Structure 1
Amino acid sequence: MPLQHAVEDLVRAAIVEDRTFGDLLPQLMEASRSASPAEMSAALPRLAEGIAQAPPNLGGWLAVVSGAWIENGADPAPAGRALVYRITEVTAAALAFGKAWEEAADGKPPPDMQEDQPSQEVFGTVAPGLGDGAVTAMMAWFALPQYTMAGCTMLQMAPDVRASVDERDFRVHVAGQAAQYLGQLDHYQTLLRVLDGERLLVLDRASRRGWTVTIGGIGDNFQLHVLLGGALIGRPGGLDGDRPSPEIIASFLNADVQDEPPLASSPWNLVDAHGEWIWNEGVPADIPAVNGTRVVVIDPPAYQRTFPAGRRFPLMPATLRVDGMHLPEDLGAWWPHIAPATR
């Protein structure tokens, strides 16, 4: 069966909750095996309509298909925004389920999203608190892992989608609240906060020099730390020190990592403009801005840090580009806004 026809049949069945959905899904999966990325990209807009309109229990399977296609080379743009918006809706419904359960279950833990299944007993527990929304909330609860898995794949591989998300703070907040029930949502909300095309001002306190850099696809500050070292150490106009090896730099950019990755080390201590440490466990979006620009200050290392090489999000390639160097006399207006390190 041609892929486009298989998608059309499956989406129609999902939206109207037709029982043929269970038979059509394997047919689509089989058609996907031989489909080219171009064919999958062409079929994604219709799949996105199904993700947006189908009830959570069926739409979750459509989301899984979209994630698999994107990982296999399909253009994520046609489905990306629909998937992000639907994940927020499904997550909000799952949160309502969790709250209703906690109020009614007398301390009994909620059902496991991935191991348990909807049942009359589960429905009966939350129905008094949710009324007519109980069925949707219950289905959202059990479908949330599927949506989240697809969302994590898509956000890693689609910088244009990441950049186009609206109401970002609200979506991050909803995902963060639900992470107590599904740990993978912590990864999802972090991906929503990834900065793309973001310019940072990097200042070296010792030499009073600075650099403007542009970053994209960086999943945590371990990655930022290593990529700054690769960009600034041992380069013309850069800084002295031990530059990370090419292998380690590549592992934080776009290269696959070995089963036993080498150890990376931290050449500096990074602080923000207020003198607070920039923790490696955080993300670049945590770095506060001064006059609209996020500022990173390089200080000597407080102690030796080592950590395994590799990206937190293996499917997400990163970029860090040095746009220009600033001499001490260029930065006179900046230093009065830069506090000493607090530690």
Structure 2
Amino acid sequence: MGPEDFHRACADLAQAAINENPAFSDLMPQVMGMSQQVSPADLSAALPLIAEALPKAQPSLGGWLAVLSGSWVESGAAAEPVGLPLVERAGEVFAEAVAFARAWKEATGGTPPDMQDDGPSQEIVDVLVPRLADASVNAMLAWFSVPQFALAMTTVLQTSAMVRGAVPDRERRAEVAGRLVEYHPHMGYVQGVLRVLEGERLLVLDRASKRGWTVQIAGIGDNFQLHVLLGGALLGRPGCMPGEPLPPEWVAWFTDQDPDGRPIVSSPWNLVDGHGAWIYNEGVPADIPALNGTRVVVLDPPSYTRHFPAGRRFPMMDATLTVEGVHHPEDLADWWPHIAPDRGQ
């Protein structure tokens, strides 16, 4: 088998998905097997075929194409050829699934069928028809396809900063994903990765010295990670914060390496936003409100020592935090009057 055979089989699979051809069920395992015998470059070359089919295939077949593309990305294929088409199609599927859940609750007053343990049926369609009419079948297929699209979407978004940065309407998409968390917990990861800030600049201020720094962040999945990477960038560094530098392995564990086991680390400060509210480690950088158009992080001495396990929320996603500018107290004279004092918890 050569790359041409693989490409031809992928084209047949994509066309079968578009046409709802019964041959899809035979072609899918065939292509999955062939994909293990070709190079990542061959997988990348075939991804545009999958990307073209995703918006045209009905949700249940598109879901398997999504899983296939995610597995190829995990095997080294470039995520970019399929990234945005996958995100767009997944968004449509998630919106239809939300409509399914709403219609089901209105019709029955009960919990919708389990996305993974149950499956499509005429009985389900009959429940939906009075509320969704001709959209009932597609909504049902979307509902049972959510797990496949969720899995593929988290893989693709974790592995490509370019795709993450290009996704439009991220907060709206994250809000839709959040509505499905109660039915499929993995949607919490979809919601989380959609809210990751890519190339965002933060103004970091030290209340005690009145100094500050502009930092750019990318690929940071939660504020545990933000807190440690701020410590790695600022503590004990020339022109930054006094103190003992964080151990380099701590920084690595929150950047691009996985720790052995779950070692415990600690954070060096209280993080407070520009309005005086605490920035909780359990939150995400996107939660930090803007002040005069900029997200502001104020460093205060810790009120108590915070200990937590090392590691990234999204282990396939590398993070960066880069100090881009150092600001002396006189540079920030116009900022400090707008910075609220710590209002506590």
TM-score, length basis structure 1: 0.97
> Which residue of the partner structure matches residue 267 of structure 1?
268
Q: Distance in 2 between matches of 1:212 and 1:93?
A: 41
Q: What is residue 180 of structure 1 aligned with on the other side?
A: 182
Task: Say if 2:170 is the partner of 1:168.
Answer: yes
Contact kept in structure 1, 2:153 and 2:190, CA below 8 Å: yes
Is residue 30 of structure 2 the alignment partner of residue 32 of structure 1? Answer: no
Q: Is 1:20 equivalent to 2:27 in the alignment?
A: no
- The residue aligned with 2:210 is 208
CA distance in 1, matches of 2:167, 2:327: 33
Where do 1:140-155 residues align within 5 Å?
A: 140-155=142-157
Aligned to 1:227: 229
Q: C-alpha separation between the residues in 1 aligned to 2:339 and 2:7?
A: 57
The 5 A counterparts of 1:1-343 are: 2-107=5-110, 109-258=111-260, 260-343=261-344
Between the two proteins, what is the percent identity of the paired residues? 58
> How many residue pairs get matched?
341
Distance in 1 separating the partners of 2:247 and 2:75: 31
Answer whether contact 2:196 2:219 (CA < 8 A) is retained. Answer: yes
Contact 1:242 1:267 in 2 (8 A): no
Unaligned 5+ segments in structure 2 are none
Give unpaired runs (5+ residues) of structure 1.
none
User: In structure 2, the residue corresponding to 1:296 is in which secondary structure?
Assistant: strand
How much does 1:4 deviate? 0.9
Partner Cα separation in structure 2 for residue 143 and residue 19 of structure 1: 18
| Cα offset, 1:194, TM superposition | 0.9
- How far does residue 120 in structure 1 lie from its aligned partner after superposition? 2.2
- Compute the displacement of 1:242 (Å): 4.0
3-state secondary structure, aligned to 2:179: helix
Shift of 1:169: 2.8
Partner amino acid for 1:309? Answer: A
Measure the CA separation in 2 of the matches of 1:230 and 1:12. 50
The answer to whether the Cα contact below 8 Å between 2:202 and 2:214 also exists between their aligned partners in 1 is: yes
Distance in 1 (alpha carbons) for counterparts of 2:169 and 2:304:
39
Q: Per-residue deviation at 1:324?
A: 2.1
C-alpha distance after superposition, 1:264-307 (max 9, x if no partner): 10110000000100111111111112222211000010111111
**Pair 1:289–1:54, CA change in 2 (3 A):** same
The 10-residue stretch of structure 1 (110-119 or 8-17) with the greater mean CA deviation from structure 2: 110-119
Q: Distance in 1 between matches of 2:244 and 2:269?
A: 10
Q: Using the alignment, how far apart are the partners of 2:171 and 2:219 within structure 1?
A: 18
Check the 8 A contact 2:237/2:245 in 1, yes or no: no
Q: Which moved more, 1:240-249 or 1:182-191?
A: 240-249
Check conservation: 1:199, 1:213, Cα contact below 8 A. Answer: yes
Contact 1:244 / 1:264 at 8 angstroms: preserved in 2?
Answer: no
Provide TM-score, normalisation by structure 2.
0.96
CA distance in 2, matches of 1:139, 1:295: 44
- Taking the aligned partners of 2:321 and 2:279, their CA distance within structure 1 comes to 17
| Structure 1 residue 171 displacement after superposition | 1.5
Which segment drifts farther, 178-187 or 64-73?
178-187
Q: Separation in 2 of the partners of 1:70 and 1:172?
A: 22
2: CA distance, partners of 1:279 / 1:5: 51
CA distance in 2, matches of 1:230, 1:169: 29
Off by >3 Å, runs of 4+ in structure 1 = none
